[in-house]
């Protein structure tokens, strides 16, 4: 599942996800009919509109194979949000079936494939923003474990890591003042550690933080964490490790 943000803005993150998965010997199918997971309407309170979009997604991603998403937020919509929106619906079982097969990409590599260390080298300081929708999931540990094992890569911890970046989807346009202040506090905390790069498992958070930083002329290099895996991957070593797993 490429996600609508990658479809509209961040093709690089979606490409990197495909390349990493294929590098690990996995056949990747990209259904052309996919659109959005339905989260914008779900969070906005319009559950009827959201369910209509979710139903489309259920149809596009029917089957038995794992569904991999380069976004903790969209993945959580499929396995947590959608079941909530479908509590009283007849097709709830299908929602659960699709949700049960849906993984955030790092969680899939780490827990699904059992790969906890990575290859290559990337000299520099990297700050990891754990997106809110990955709380309580395997993703934060997966990102830290995989990136932390890249040679030369130094993970830096910033203050108040539990605080949200302020994006929150429609929240950012419904509560623009609070959202902006939240984002600026986050940027201050991140920049205090002087990282070479900020990464996250969600482009939405990075879009918000980059957008705020750029508007106020602050440099904040930020990329999806999966792009780092792609750039440092040595497929021959990794697929060997996978075969022995």
| Ranges within 47-66 binding another protein (CB under 8 A) | 47, 49-50, 52-53, 55-56, 60
Among residues 106, 113, 111, the alpha carbon closest in space to that of 25 is found at 113
> Is residue 156 at the binding interface for another protein, with CB under 8 A as the rule?
no
- 35 neighbors 5 (Cβ within 8 angstroms): no
> Is residue 172 at the binding interface for another protein, with CB under 8 A as the rule?
yes
Those residues whose C-beta lies under 8 Å from the C-beta of residue 46, and which sit 6 or more positions away, are none
> Is residue 99 at the binding interface for another protein, with CB under 8 A as the rule?
no
Distance between CA atoms of residues 140 and 136, nearest Å: 9
Per-residue contact string for residues 183-222; x = within reach of another protein by CB under 8 A = x-x---------------------xx-xxx-xxx------
> Is residue 158 at the binding interface for another protein, with CB under 8 A as the rule?
no
**Which of 63, 100, 123, 176 lies at the binding interface for another protein (CB under 8 A)?**
176
Per-residue contact string for residues 116-135; x = within reach of another protein by CB under 8 A = ----------------xx-x
Which ranges of the chain would DSSP assign to H, the alpha helix? 4-8, 11-23, 39-44, 47-60, 72-76, 82-85, 92-100, 105-107, 139-148, 171-174, 176-191, 203-215, 225-232, 235-244
DSSP secondary-structure letter at 100? H
**Which two three-digit tokens encode residue 231?**
């750039």
Question: Measured from the CB atom, is 49 or 235 closer to another protein?
Answer: 49
Least Å from the CB of residue 73 to another protein:
10
Least Å from the CB of residue 123 to another protein:
27
> Is residue 42 at the binding interface for another protein, with CB under 8 A as the rule?
yes
């Amino acid at each position: 599942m490429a996600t609508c943000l990658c479809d509209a803005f961040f093709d690089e993150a979606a490409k990197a996800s495909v390349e990493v998965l294929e590098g690990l010997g996995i056949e990747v199918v990209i259904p052309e009919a996919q659109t959005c997971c339905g989260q914008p309407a779900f969070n906005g309170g319009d559950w009827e509109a959201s369910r209509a979009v979710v139903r489309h997604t259920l149809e596009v991603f029917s089957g038995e194979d794992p569904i991999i998403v380069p976004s903790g937020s969209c993945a959580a919509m499929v396995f947590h949000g959608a079941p909530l929106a479908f509590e009283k619906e007849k097709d709830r079982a299908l929602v659960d079936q699709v949700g049960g097969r849906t993984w955030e990409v790092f969680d899939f590599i780490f827990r699904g494939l059992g790969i906890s260390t990575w290859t290559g080298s990337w000299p520099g300081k990297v700050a990891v923003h754990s997106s809110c929708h990955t709380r309580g999931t395997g993703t934060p540990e997966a990102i830290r474990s995989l990136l932390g094992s890249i040679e030369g890569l130094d993970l830096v911890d910033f203050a108040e890591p539990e605080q949200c970046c302020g994006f929150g989807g429609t929240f950012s346009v419904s509560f623009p003042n609070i959202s902006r202040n939240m984002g600026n506090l986050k940027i201050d905390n991140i920049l205090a550690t002087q990282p070479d790069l900020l990464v996250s498992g969600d482009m939405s958070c990075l879009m918000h933080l980059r957008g705020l930083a750029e508007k106020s002329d602050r440099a904040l290099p930020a990329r999806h964490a999966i792009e780092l895996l792609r750039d440092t991957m040595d497929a021959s070593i990794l697929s060997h490790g996978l075969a022995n797993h």
